[in-house]
Amino acid sequence: MSPRHILIAARRILIAPRRLLLTPCRLLFAARLFPVAAVAVALLVGGVVVAPALVAQAPGTSSSSSSTPESQAVETTPTQRIAQPEASGSAVTLETSEPLFTLAAALNACGYDAGLAESDPVRLKVREQMNQELAASAAARDARDAVCFFIRQHALTDTGREVAQYISLALYLSPAPELALTVELPDLPPEAAPVVEILPLLRAFAEAVHLNAIWIANRPEYEALIDRIHEPLTKAVLDTNIFLRLPVSSYDGRRFLVLLEPMLAPEETNARYNGTDSVVVVSPRAGQPETVPMDLIRHTYLHFLIEPLVYTRTSSINRMLPLLKPVQKAPLEFTYKSDIVALLTECLIKAVEAQTMDVGIPVPVKPGSLRERADQERYEAEMSVYDRQAEVVRRRRVDLDMRQGWVLVDYFYGKLGQMQKDGTSLKDNMGPMVYGMDVERERSHDQQIAFLPTGSGGDVIRRTPRPLAGLDLAESKLMKGDVDGAGEIADAALKANPANPQALYLLGRINLMQGDADEALDHLTQTVKLSHDPRTVAWAHIYLGRMYDIAQTPQREKALAEYRAALANRDSQPDTKAAAERGIQQPFALPKRTATSSDQQDNAAPADDAPLDPTGKAEKEAYRPSTPSK
């Protein structure tokens, strides 16, 4: 059987498991059933029967950790692990995590709405289930408020970094209900340590809202998402290993995990590497769960494969230190300007990505049977044209990488191309690549590069802010004082869907601003019946309570009922609770206005103790600027 057919058979075997991508016991069993694939299985799963218990690891918690000598002794102490190891010992897994779900759910309960419109529907479902628990229990609301107060106290200006610190913490927690650290406090990643004190508050919140039951109830949705992502992820992992000709061993103590968490924003993807475990946390988009950021997953997987090969040659790599001088003017992070191992690793990974990138050109299809010589010649001619066009695209990518400061990409790109022609592996070629590099030649070449301006590094993603539309635009107009413009959008939305709670809530506030008490009462009453958003419901109750307080004939009992309902349905923001409690303590009163001299002369404003005009017209006139005297 040809190597191509062997690889196809191995691919089918690899794709078969649903959650564990490359599980050795399953692969070996499959090899017994399909002997033709045994060679490929042995190639892809090296050393699965007897493997070393410990291997040397690169220190640190990121892919850019400092170098270690080649002669460093193998550690004999247990390595701290990210998440919890699978019993099967699989090297590459696609999983979910209850501790991660718990922290992500807490963030959502505390106003984390980033990417909500683009998220999978299960995120809204979980939020609604939490809201039901919160509405039914004062203790749950108090527990939620305590967690949210902590989160506000530890807020960062960068939302991505703020979420990342909680993700890092979740990776080192045991399953619920313990939610305890699986490492000693000094071993936590630096970004997670400042928020570790949230844990007792998180346990109380999880218990109060029955998060474990919510987690179990939504596991089918999570499993369905994993099923959709499994095949493209398996293909990406397998194709990468085939290109590099590296085996996937799952008994060397190292793991690559992809954790799926739809409670996070799809645009926020986090990658972690601590020398032993590589983890990527991703969230799928609504309606297209298979469109997770596969490029970032593959990039992290390349770190997982390549870094051990690099760190075994750190003493030899030190001779490349002169290459750091030219990159001081490049738009790179300080790490890559000061650590030659980190720079070399990233350049090698980018060279692999350039060699294997999708060039956007259809690959010629080889005819099923080449009976005529002309068919063979035509196919070879088409492939020749494709190779030339693809090389142009790849070269553009290499040139861009070089101008962004990744000065060894061109060198490694050429070496990888030769490796493919020779049919050898990256492991076999790593030594010649490092030892055979003419450092002075590369340094001289790098000095001629016209680097891009600072801030244009290749890893920086710039996104155009999402333009406001629909009711979001209406809210913006209302905040800016364009009441009529906001009303027009809200009216249109209500015509399209008479049960749209956001449109009803918006119109209720507009009615209040325009002094139309009857319409405001109707719209806000419908809002509390239809909306499932705690903040919207709570503030609708507060507005209704205030309307009863300032009516021509105040209805204090109805007002108190509304304020109490607001407390029972409130969100985590302190302004909601404060407004409802203030309404319970004393009736709401319109702010008194100091009359100006022109008001007194023109008698344009009603007295402060005058009865409230239900239409609000008199109040509006009171605030109209007086006509200047001539």
Q: Specify the DSSP class assigned to residue 181.
A: B
Give percent above pLDDT 90 in the chain: 32
When the pLDDT of each residue in the chain is averaged and rounded to a whole number, the result is 77
Whole-angstrom Cα distance, residue 321 to residue 435?
A: 14
Instruction: Estimate to the nearest angstrom the gap between the alpha carbon of 210 and the chain centroid.
Output: 25
Collapsed DSSP state (helix, strand, coil) of residue 94: strand
Whole-angstrom Cα distance, residue 486 to residue 542?
A: 21
Residue indicated by tokens 């499994």: 230
Q: pTM of this prediction?
A: 0.67
Whole-angstrom Cα distance, residue 141 to residue 35?
A: 60
Q: Residues 626, 598: contact at Cβ < 8 Å?
A: yes
> H or E segment at 273?
strand 270-273
Whole-angstrom Cα distance, residue 540 to residue 534?
A: 10
> What's the pLDDT score for residue 455?
58
- Pull the structure tokens for residue 168: 């890092």
Q: Please say whether the structural domain 470-585 has been given the CATH code 1.25.40.10.
A: yes
Query: How would you classify the pairing of strands 270-273 and 255-260?
Result: unpaired
pLDDT digits (tens, 9 = 90+) for 454-489: 755 444 333 334 456 788 888 888 888 888 888 888
Q: Residues 449, 441: contact at Cβ < 8 Å?
A: no
CA distances for 5 relative to 18, 46, 234, 311, angstroms: 23, 20, 18, 35
> H or E segment at 601?
helix 597-602
DSSP code string of 538-573: HHHHHHHHHHHHTSSS--HHHHHHHHHHHHHT--S-
Domain boundaries, the chain: 337-365+372-458, 470-585
Q: Hey, how many other C-beta atoms are within 10 angstroms of the C-beta on 561?
A: 15
Burial, 158: exposed, middle or buried (Cβ in 10 Å; 0-12, 13-18, 19+)?
exposed
Q: What is the mean pLDDT of residues 386-391?
A: 92
Q: What is the mean pLDDT of residues 413-436?
A: 90
> What's the pLDDT score for residue 206?
95
> What's the pLDDT score for residue 84?
53
Calculate ∠ Cα 484-486-492, nearest 5°: 100
Identify each DSSP E strand in 45-158 by its residue range. Answer: 92-95
With the CA atoms of 316, 320, 324 and 330 taken in that order, what torsion angle do they form, in degrees rounded to the nearest 10? Answer: -110
Q: How confident is the model at residue 155 (pLDDT cuts 50, 70, 90)?
A: confident
Give percent above pLDDT 70 in the chain: 75
Pick from 318, 321, 329: which is nearest to 447 by CA?
Answer: 329
User: Higher confidence at residue 300 or residue 463?
Assistant: 300
- Pull the structure tokens for residue 347: 């350049």
Whole-angstrom Cα distance, residue 179 to residue 170?
A: 9
Please say if the pLDDT value at position 563 is more than 80: yes
Counting Cα atoms < 13 Å in the Cβ hemisphere of 212 gives: 10
> What's the pLDDT score for residue 203?
95
Whole-angstrom Cα distance, residue 490 to residue 495?
A: 9
- Pull the structure tokens for residue 67: 């170098």
Q: How confident is the model at residue 81 (pLDDT cuts 50, 70, 90)?
A: low
Collapsed DSSP state (helix, strand, coil) of residue 434: helix
pLDDT digits (tens, 9 = 90+) for 209-261: 999 999 999 999 999 999 988 888 888 889 999 999 987 654 467 788 899 99
Residue type, 99: P
Q: Hey, how many other C-beta atoms are within 10 angstroms of the C-beta on 388?
A: 9
Edge-to-edge strands, sheet with 277-282:
92-95, 255-260, 277-282, 270-273
Q: Residues 277, 255: contact at Cβ < 8 Å?
A: yes
pLDDT digits (tens, 9 = 90+) for 611-630: 444 444 444 454 444 444 44
pLDDT digits (tens, 9 = 90+) for 195-207: 999 999 999 999 9
Encode 453-478: b = buried (16+ Cβ within 10 Å), e = exposed. eeeeebeeeeeeeeeeeebeebbebb
For the four alpha carbons of 438, 439, 440 and 446, in that order, the dihedral sign comes to: positive
